[in-house]
Amino acid sequence: MANVKIVLRSETKLDGTSPLAIRITKDRKSSYVYLEYSIKKTDWDKTNQRVKKSHPNSGRLNNYLITKMAEVVSHSLEMETEKKEVSSRAVRQKVKSKNGVTFFIQAATHIANLRAGGKYNQVVSDEPRINKFKEFLGGSDIPFHEITVPLLNRFKAYLKGERNVSERTVMNYFILIRTVFNQAIKGKLVDPKYYPFGRNGIVIKFPDSIKIGLTPAEVKKIEELELPQGSAENHARNVWLFSYYFAGMRVSDVLRLKRADFQNERLFYAMGKNAKAGSLKVPDKALRIISQYEPNDQDLLFPDLLVVEDLENAYEVQRKISYAVKQINTYLVDVAKAATISKPLTMHIARHTFGNISGDKIPVQMLQKLYRHSSITTTIGYQANFIHKDADDALAAVIGI
């Protein structure tokens, strides 16, 4: 077993104190775990590894040292039970992992992993939220065990009071903090007992949101609108309609489509969000849109991603899609004005529009397939935003409309 001993290090700080540390020695090699306190050499009993009574907080410090010593010995025994060969450095890392990991170091790893995975949209949303949490903490890092329910409640009050953010945005902050926490626990860097979420902690629950789609008459206005072919407005209208025609296909999937995805009058594609694959018959309306675009070297249906040199670079592809969607949404404002539609018109509204028009006409199992939802519960929850007949009939039965 490794030899564990509390020592006072030789280096002296500006205030004349020296740091306390736990020395772990195995096979004549030593590693040190520095503790949170420093004391003067005159207050240290080297033989008994104790703080002398001459120190004003000797009792509290000695209790702290006993606890830390017990933790290190426990981790050493645990590791030696699992493995025959355990180095002093390995024991030290185990101790530091359990007690010394800080949130923003792990958060930086989270962001780095997102970048490596090509998750541009998550990077641009998560990184500012991490920075805002750090700003709330005064710019300093924080150990995981100090992220408590009261602290998170204060952060929520700060976001809503001083930053004027919505309840939904607060929940997005909490989801990010929870994600980083879960990654640290999964990596055995943090003891699960410090977890501040769940039934006995912070419960993450999104408030209901109102989803409004266009009516069939409004869609027809967009379809029949006279726009110059090749114009930015016409392209925005085409991408929006294409999404709508294919059951509210996500714009990120629309812009990735290639001509090779269209075979035997069907569209074959896997949804980027959850990789669910399937095929749909290509409507004549969609074929008329396809005919407006010339083939290109990268086989893309729409030209928005032609500026990306390497379509295998997921991060760059997402970055360009994000920029393209902003441009398309800008021109959709002009399309809505020209079509005399007062509702907001964005790419996401195409999905809501399909949901609104389908209503309760399509069985929920088929809608799940069309939406490419992993769970039918998600489909039921989403479609509930657009099914009003039962509620309307019930109201009419009472008030006689």
pLDDT along the chain (401 residues), means of 10: 84 85 83 82 92 90 84 70 59 54 86 90 94 91 90 95 93 96 87 90 83 88 94 96 90 93 88 71 93 95 94 92 96 96 91 78 70 69 61 65 56
Residues spanned by CATH 1.10.150 within the chain? Answer: 103-194
Q: Give φ, ψ of 302 to 5 degrees.
A: -100, 150
HSE-up of 389 (CA within 13 Å, CB side)? 7
What is the model's pLDDT at position 29?
Answer: 82
Q: First-to-last CA distance in the chain? A: 83
Single out the residue of 388, 357, 361 nearest to residue 213, CA to CA: 357
For the record, the structure tokens of 244 come out as 């709508």
For the record, the structure tokens of 165 come out as 């953010």
What is the model's pLDDT at position 332?
Answer: 96
Single out the residue of 60, 58, 34, 30 nearest to residue 45, CA to CA: 58
| pTM greater than 0.75 | no
The per-residue DSSP string of 226-287 comes to ---TTSHHHHHHHHHHHHHHTTS--HHHHHH-BGGGEETTEEEEE-TTT--EEEEEPPHHHH
Domain spanning 216-392: which CATH class is it, in words? mainly alpha
Domain spanning 103-194: which CATH class is it, in words? mainly alpha
Residues spanned by CATH 1.10.443.10 within the chain? Answer: 216-392
Three-state DSSP class for 101? coil
